[in-house]
Amino acid sequence: MSRILRPFGVFAPQGDVARFSVSGTSPAPFLRSGRQWSGSNLPHEPTRHVIPVRSKVSPLPYARVTRLKNREHFPVLVIGTGIAGLTTAFVLASAGVRVLLVTKAADPRDCNTFWAQGGIIYEGEGDSPDSLIADILRAGAGISNEEAVRFLASEGPRVVKELLLDEIDVPFSTTEEGELDLTQEGAHSLPRIIHAGDATGRAIEVSLLNRVKEEPNVTLATEVTAIDLLTTHHHPGDIQIRYRLANECVGAYILDNQTKEVYTIFADYTVLATGGIGQIYLHSTNTRHAIGDGIVMAHRAGARIMNAEYVQFHPTALADKKANHFLISEALRGEGARLRNQKGEYFMEKYAPELKDLAPRDVVARAIVEEMTTNKDEFVYLDLANFYNGHEPIADRFPNIRKACAEIGVDIERDPIPVVPAAHYFCGGVLVNTAGETTLSRLFSVGETSCSGLHGANRLASTSLLEGLTWGYYAAHSIREKLQSAAPVAEPGIRRALSSRPAGIGAVAPSTVATIPDWQPSGSANLEDPALILQDWTAIQNTMWNYVGIVRTYERLKRAAADMSQLGYRLEKFYHEASISKSIVELFHGQRMAAIVASAAIRNPTSRGAHFRKD
């Protein structure tokens, strides 16, 4: 069979398609007239195969949302516009729930989802949930949450079909026979991954975003940064509310990046979908916004953080500063590419005799580091040209990787690709169940911000998009059920005395939000000196890369924890003296995220998966 890549952004008419409700244990389909989409109303007119590298993202022609209204109350606040956040917002809005969807980026596509290359897990020939479960558990190095793994394996492919294929109609690549083209990636036992060329994330992100922006129940606000979560144990002026045993999240303080105004936004349910943490490292494949905002805010609010030591490094980022660590997808090794050092030696058989170049990412990343260290080289090579076993020409299968490599003078149809590892995915996060609920009432977390235990100590390739989609879908399902099953509201005096309504069910009482004050700035000095902020970020990123990177020791981790603690003390003072801005909030959150990872790593002496202790 040969493959044909359907052009991105060209959407077939949908006619009457199934949309899925979010009530009941197994959401039942209902019919609704679909919409016809064409290039004229896409966020960006796509060109076949040609997708810009990260440094050339052009803003979407979305009009910036008019200024938020202070103390506005929404049923749901979703923070983040990747696959997890968009899915949550779309499913809720489709069911008639009003959603405020916010992103600190100017372009809502500016997220890790958009740059995901390889694909999303679906169903392969002869595949089964048990087979996928076995692959995920093997990659997770023995500490995956088996309930979460079973949940993804059984529910994930169904959600892909219902939302991405039937409802959204994402333009995935197909064979000449019109069947979905299935590919295989590292540590998978068979081909089960569907893709859109080598820009799967873009196809999904644009398709979802188109539908979300047409939903009347979604208010999309760009260029606004979440500062802090509002909780009933910390923020109410009424001490009677703070006496309640259950701590509830009731919204967030949100900064307008342009005007510097801070809005008090209330929500019955808040969903964190802020993505990963890659930018706390010197080398990362993540977008510039991925610093762990949601995780830090949840930690500060009292939600439990889990598995923070497990930071996955992608083995193969393009080894050229001009390329901004462009990701070289694992799909290349899935279709035959092999790693070799600068001596010309193919080395993976030494480190993984059975899986070789298809070994899990942590194994491959450490093998590359070992080769670079032993040979005193700055990179290794990935040889696709001599081992490609795909069904179509390399230029058609990997057009964007080919383009990115060509910009630094590498022809992937002829030349080996210079690659190095880079921080790629955070396997830890805010602890959640299979509905995305956290340990803090009314707070949900989905996607890379969350930790369901699915990935254990190391993520299996192409599970991240499926996780974001599936958990976003079921978080919406859970929130809708909670909104519908609200207990009768007692009189304010009775509710205050008896706490008659169960925590986390229904709308937040007006008497509760009325006692929460607006943001009170602690400082007013204009201290946003770019040189100071750059130096602090340099310290964070170099410390994390050198001491809390791919290979760790107790002494390195101790130094990292001490350095981050000292920096945190200085930034705490700085934060309370300076007037608020996006740059200062991000620096504060970045330092806090680095401290969380370093602290978790030093507490865990056991090498497992992405956490490797050399000592």
**pLDDT tens-place string over residues 278-298:** 999 998 999 999 999 999 999
502 to 180, 229, 247: CA distances (angstroms): 46, 21, 12
Q: Which residue has the tokens 């700035």?
A: 521
Q: Per the domain annotation, does 446 fall within a domain? A: yes
Record the pTM. Answer: 0.85
Pick from 410, 349, 347, 354: nearest CA to 373: 347
Query: Tokens for 216?
Result: 């009347």
Q: Is the same domain home to 141 and 253? A: yes
Check residue 461 and give its pLDDT: 86
Q: Is the same domain home to 463 and 341? A: no
| Weakest mean pLDDT among 255-269, 270-284, 405-419, 568-582 | 568-582
Q: Bridge partners of 262? A: 255
Q: What's the chain's average pLDDT?
A: 87
Report phi then psi at 163, rounded to 5.
-90, -55
Query: Residue 573's domain spans which residues?
Result: 530-603
Q: Per the domain annotation, does 516 fall within a domain? A: no
Query: Tokens for 179?
Result: 């069947």
C-beta of residue 199 within 8 angstroms of C-beta of residue 117: yes
C-beta of residue 610 within 8 angstroms of C-beta of residue 310: yes
C-beta of residue 417 within 8 angstroms of C-beta of residue 328: yes
Report the CATH number that the domain containing residue 551 is assigned in CATH. 1.20.58.100
- What mean pLDDT is predicted for residues 372-385? 95
Neighbours of 603 (CB within 10 A): 11
Check residue 51 and give its pLDDT: 28
* Rounded Cα–Cα distance for residues 419 and 407 (Å): 15
How many domains does the chain divide into?
Answer: 3
- Three-class SS state of 160: helix
C-beta of residue 79 within 8 angstroms of C-beta of residue 111: no
Query: Residue 66: pLDDT band by 50, 70, 90 thresholds?
Result: low
318 to 24, 323, 334, 355, 380: CA distances (angstroms): 46, 7, 17, 23, 10
Report the CATH number that the domain containing residue 174 is assigned in CATH. 3.50.50.60
* Rounded Cα–Cα distance for residues 141 and 137 (Å): 7
Neighbours of 153 (CB within 10 A): 24
* Rounded Cα–Cα distance for residues 533 and 538 (Å): 9
Q: What angle do CA 130, 163, 8 make, to 5 degrees?
A: 110
Neighbours of 437 (CB within 10 A): 22
Q: Is the same domain home to 144 and 46? A: yes
* Rounded Cα–Cα distance for residues 394 and 389 (Å): 10
336 to 123, 479, 564: CA distances (angstroms): 21, 44, 42
Query: Tokens for 19?
Result: 């949309």
- Percent share of the chain, pLDDT over 70: 87
* Rounded Cα–Cα distance for residues 210 and 7 (Å): 16
Report the CATH number that the domain containing residue 317 is assigned in CATH. 3.90.700.10
C-beta of residue 544 within 8 angstroms of C-beta of residue 560: yes
Pick from 128, 109, 385, 86: nearest CA to 215: 86
Query: Tokens for 162?
Result: 């219902």
Q: Is the same domain home to 38 and 150? A: yes
- What mean pLDDT is predicted for residues 339-366? 94
Q: Is 341 left (phi over 0), alpha (psi -120 to 50) or beta?
A: beta
Neighbours of 17 (CB within 10 A): 17
* Active-site hit among 340, 361, 402, 459: 361
- Three-class SS state of 14: coil
Domain-ending residue, one of 425, 442, 460: 425
Q: Is the same domain home to 288 and 342? A: no
Q: Per the domain annotation, does 60 fall within a domain? A: no
Q: Is the same domain home to 330 and 386? A: yes
Q: Is the same domain home to 295 and 326? A: no
Q: Per the domain annotation, does 397 fall within a domain? A: yes
C-beta of residue 475 within 8 angstroms of C-beta of residue 435: yes
User: Across 203-212, 515-524, 569-578, which has the greatest mean pLDDT?
Assistant: 203-212
Q: Is the same domain home to 271 and 356? A: no
- Which strands make up the sheet holding 305-306, listed edge to edge? 305-306, 429-431, 450-451
Q: Is the same domain home to 412 and 444? A: no
Q: Is the pLDDT confidence value at 6 over 60?
A: no
Q: Per the domain annotation, does 511 fall within a domain? A: no
Q: Is the same domain home to 362 and 436? A: no
Where does residue 498 rank: exposed (0-12), middle (13-18), buried (19+ CB within 10 A)?
Answer: exposed
DSSP type of residue 381: E
Q: Is the same domain home to 116 and 140? A: yes
E strand map for 311-391: 311-318, 338-340, 380-383
C-beta of residue 469 within 8 angstroms of C-beta of residue 155: no
Q: Per the domain annotation, does 525 fall within a domain? A: no
Q: Per the domain annotation, does 61 fall within a domain? A: no
288 counts as catalytic: no
Check residue 509 and give its pLDDT: 93
Neighbours of 344 (CB within 10 A): 9
Query: Tokens for 550?
Result: 């791919």
Q: What angle do CA 478, 484, 485 make, to 5 degrees?
A: 90
Q: How big is the chain by its Cα radius of gyration, in Å?
A: 24
- Percent share of the chain, pLDDT over 90: 78
Q: Per the domain annotation, does 498 fall within a domain? A: no
C-beta of residue 384 within 8 angstroms of C-beta of residue 336: yes
CA 9 from centre of chain: 22
- Three-class SS state of 332: helix
Check residue 522 and give its pLDDT: 82
CA 383 from centre of chain: 29
The residue type found at 36 is Q
Domain-ending residue, one of 483, 501, 522: 483
For 299-323, write each residue's pLDDT tens digit. 999 999 999 999 999 999 999 877 7
Q: Is the same domain home to 380 and 238? A: no
For 104-160, write each residue's pLDDT tens digit. 999 999 999 999 988 999 999 999 999 999 999 999 999 999 999 999 999 999 999
Domain-ending residue, one of 425, 456, 473: 425
Task: Count H helices and E strands in the chain, helices first.
Answer: 18, 21
Pick from 324, 94, 39, 326: nearest CA to 206: 39
Helix (H) or strand (E) holding 152: helix 146-159
Q: Is the pLDDT confidence value at 12 over 60?
A: no
Residue 494 vs residue 586, higher pLDDT: 586
For 156-181, write each residue's pLDDT tens digit. 999 999 999 999 999 999 998 999 99
- What mean pLDDT is predicted for residues 403-419? 96
